[in-house]
């Protein structure tokens, strides 16, 4: 291949295939987002092998999900978000306990070791909010009460997932460091509450003054992007995912920035969100199909992963009415990249096997594919509230 062809070739293959599949799915009135994940499975190592997930593609995928959450944050007012805090906390807590317990129980019943079973449970805990957020934004229903509960619960869920993972890792190392785990939790909770509670106020004070003095064009976007990366970095240092920081950055700016920042953010999203979706598909792993027993286990874990979030989160939200409880339960189903990260840590610590890793990846990808059509169905009666939401956000 001639020098310099790598980047345009990778971009063309991934972006082009994703958009083609999305188009075919939308044509048949299926969620384009699922088409893009399947495009990743198709061109990835498990089927055609045209694209290997390398550092560059994973970085584009990470940028995609960061900007996706940033864009969602820009639509969410912190005050609205805090209002559903109590409901969301209950959803998050039950949505952690039930999958953790279910995963552990099933794995133990399948005669896996104690530590392996805990990792299976931990991998089933964390919701990948990117998928759900994209579907809700595409329908223009981000402002519906159930949607706000899902977003808030997903943030709390990420913090709880971090604590569960910290405990699981401690146990895998054979010593339970209660102080370290408590510190991890406190830092993550402190960061999240601090930014969610005071971020909007701070940005409302800072951005207009700063903007007033800026000489360069598109200064507001530059400030917004700097905050996005800054809070993403702080989030990682605080122990939570970078995308939580990106979401909080968006939310902090929601009441300050103008339409232009939305437009420019959309440009980055349109380019890179396909890499996030394809990236999930690329990591699909055939080792879950290695033999009948593993495959059976994978299917059982998948069913448990779906049912446990439905039941746990649905129960947590039951006081919002049955319809909303169902929406919230479904919205928390996708595990996406988060489940895989937990499994990867387990693999790196040599406490879970390759085939168990394949099972978790299978569960993560499949929950991500199952959720969008279910979510569209559950929201079929919710009217789009955002002006032009449909047009603005449906991804291709």
How many residues bind a second copy (CB under 8 A)? The answer is 59
CB 35 within 8 A of CB 295: no
Neighbours of 396 (CB within 10 A): 15
Q: What's the number of CA atoms in the CB half-sphere (13 Å) around residue 371? A: 34
Please tell me the distance from the alpha carbon of residue 105 to that of residue 119, in angstroms, as a whole number: 12
Contact characters 247-276, a second copy, x per CB under 8 A: ----------------xxxxxx-xx-----
Contacting range for a second copy; rule: CB under 8 A; set: 290-298, 308-316, 374-382, 384-392 = 384-392
Residue nearer to a second copy on the CB measure, 137 or 251: 137
Among 190, 208, 237, 321, which residue sits at the site for a second copy (rule: CB under 8 A)?
237
Span of 141-149, 161-169, 225-233, 276-284 interacting with a second copy by CB under 8 A: 225-233
**Backbone torsions φ then ψ of 128, nearest 5 degrees:** -95, 100
- Residue 264's nearest CA partner among 229, 219, 203, 214 is 219
The smaller minimum CB distance to a second copy, of residues 218 and 354, is found at 218
Compute the least distance from the CB of residue 39 to a second copy, in Å: 13
Stretch of 25-33, 115-123, 324-332, 363-371 contacting a second copy, by CB under 8 A:
25-33
Q: Which stretch binds a second copy (CB under 8 A): 6-14, 80-88, 99-107, 364-372?
A: 6-14
Q: Which of 73, 103, 245, 372 binds a second copy (CB under 8 A)?
A: 245
Do residues 343 and 133 lie in contact, with contact meaning Cβ atoms separated by under 8 Å? no
Verify binding: residue 394, a second copy, rule CB under 8 A.
yes
Contact call for residues 388 and 140 (beta carbons, < 8 A): yes
Contact between 130 and a second copy per CB under 8 A: no
Tell me if 9 contacts a second copy by CB under 8 A: yes
Question: Which residues 6+ apart lie within 8 Å of 16 measured at CB?
Answer: none
What binding mask, one character per residue, do residues 30-49 give for a second copy by CB under 8 A, x or -?
--x-----------------
CA distance 220 to 28: 40
Contact status: 229 vs a second copy (CB under 8 A): yes
Q: Which stretch binds a second copy (CB under 8 A): 37-45, 158-166, 233-241, 365-373?
A: 233-241
| 217 forms part of the interface with a second copy (CB under 8 A) | yes
Both tokens assigned to 68? 């996706």
Counting contacts by CB under 8 A, is residue 2 touching a second copy? yes
For a second copy, the binding residue among 38, 42, 66, 91 (CB under 8 A) is 66
Nearest to 96 by CA among 328, 331, 312, 325: 312
Alpha carbons within 13 angstroms on the beta-carbon side of residue 350 total: 2
Nearer to a second copy by C-beta: 23 or 354? Answer: 23
Verify binding: residue 349, a second copy, rule CB under 8 A: no
CA distances from 371 to 97, 101, 181, 335 (A): 20, 21, 32, 10
Region of 38-46, 61-69, 72-80, 100-108 interacting with a second copy (CB under 8 A): 61-69
User: What is the rounded distance in angstroms from the CA atom of residue 351 to the CA atom of residue 117?
Assistant: 10
Q: Terminus-to-terminus CA distance in the chain, angstroms?
A: 30
What CA–CA distance (Å, rounded) separates 356 from 120?
A: 8
Residue from 51, 63, 162, 384 touching a second copy (CB under 8 A): that is 63
- What is the C-alpha to C-alpha distance for residues 242 and 63, in angstroms, rounded to an integer? 10
User: What's the min distance (Å) between Cβ of 135 and a second copy?
Assistant: 13
Locate 9 and state its tokens: 């070739």
Give yes or no for residue 350 binding a second copy (CB under 8 A): no
Burial class (CB in 10 A: 0-12, 13-18, 19+), 391: exposed
Determine if 385 is a binding residue for a second copy (CB under 8 A): no
> Is residue 176 part of the contact set for a second copy (CB under 8 A)?
no
Applying CB under 8 A, the residues found at the interface with a second copy are: 2-5, 7-9, 11-12, 15-16, 19, 22-23, 26-27, 32, 55-56, 59, 62-63, 66, 138, 214-219, 221-222, 225-226, 229-230, 232-233, 236-237, 239, 241-242, 245, 263-268, 270-271, 390-396
């Amino acid at each position: 291949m001639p020098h310099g062809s790598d980047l345009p070739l990778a971009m063309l293959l991934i972006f082009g295939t994703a958009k083609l599949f999305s188009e075919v799915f939308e044509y048949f009135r299926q969620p384009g987002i699922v088409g893009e994940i399947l495009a990743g499975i198709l061109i990835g190592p498990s089927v055609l092998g045209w694209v290997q997930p390398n550092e560059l593609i994973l970085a584009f995928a990470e940028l995609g999900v960061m900007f996706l959450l940033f864009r969602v944050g820009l639509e969410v007012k912190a005050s609205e978000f805090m209002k559903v805090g109590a409901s969301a906390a209950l959803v998050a807590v039950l949505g952690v306990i039930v999958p953790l317990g279910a995963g552990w129980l099933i794995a133990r019943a399948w005669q896996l070791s104690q530590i392996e079973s805990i990792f299976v449970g931990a991998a089933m805990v964390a919701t990948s909010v990117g998928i759900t957020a994209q579907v809700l934004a595409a329908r223009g229903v981000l402002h519906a009460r159930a949607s706000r509960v899902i977003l808030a619960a997903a943030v709390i869920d990420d913090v709880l997932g971090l604590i569960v993972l910290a405990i699981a890792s401690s146990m895998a190392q054979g010593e339970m460091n209660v102080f370290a785990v408590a510190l991890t939790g406190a830092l993550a909770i402190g960061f999240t509450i601090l930014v969610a509670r005071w971020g909007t106020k701070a940005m409302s004070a800072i951005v207009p003054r700063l903007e007033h003095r800026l000489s360069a064009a598109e200064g507001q976007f530059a400030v917004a992007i700097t905050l996005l990366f800054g809070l993403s970095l702080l989030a990682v240092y605080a122990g939570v995912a970078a995308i939580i920081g990106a979401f909080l950055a968006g939310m902090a700016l929601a009441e300050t920035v103008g339409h232009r920042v939305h437009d420019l953010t959309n440009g980055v999203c349109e380019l890179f969100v396909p890499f996030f979706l394809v990236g999930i598909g690329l990591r699909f792993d055939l080792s879950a199909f290695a033999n009948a027993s593993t495959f059976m286990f994978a299917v059982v874990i998948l069913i448990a992963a779906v049912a446990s979030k439905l039941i746990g989160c649905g129960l947590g939200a039951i006081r919002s009415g049955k319809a909303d409880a169902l929406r919230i339960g479904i919205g928390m189903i996708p595990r996406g990249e988060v489940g895989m990260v937990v499994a990867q840590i387990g693999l790196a610590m040599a406490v879970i096997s390759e085939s168990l890793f394949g099972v978790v990846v299978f569960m993560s990808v499949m929950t991500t594919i199952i959720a969008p059509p279910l979510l569209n169905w559950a929201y079929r009666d919710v009217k789009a509230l955002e002006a032009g939401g449909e047009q603005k956000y449906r991804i291709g």
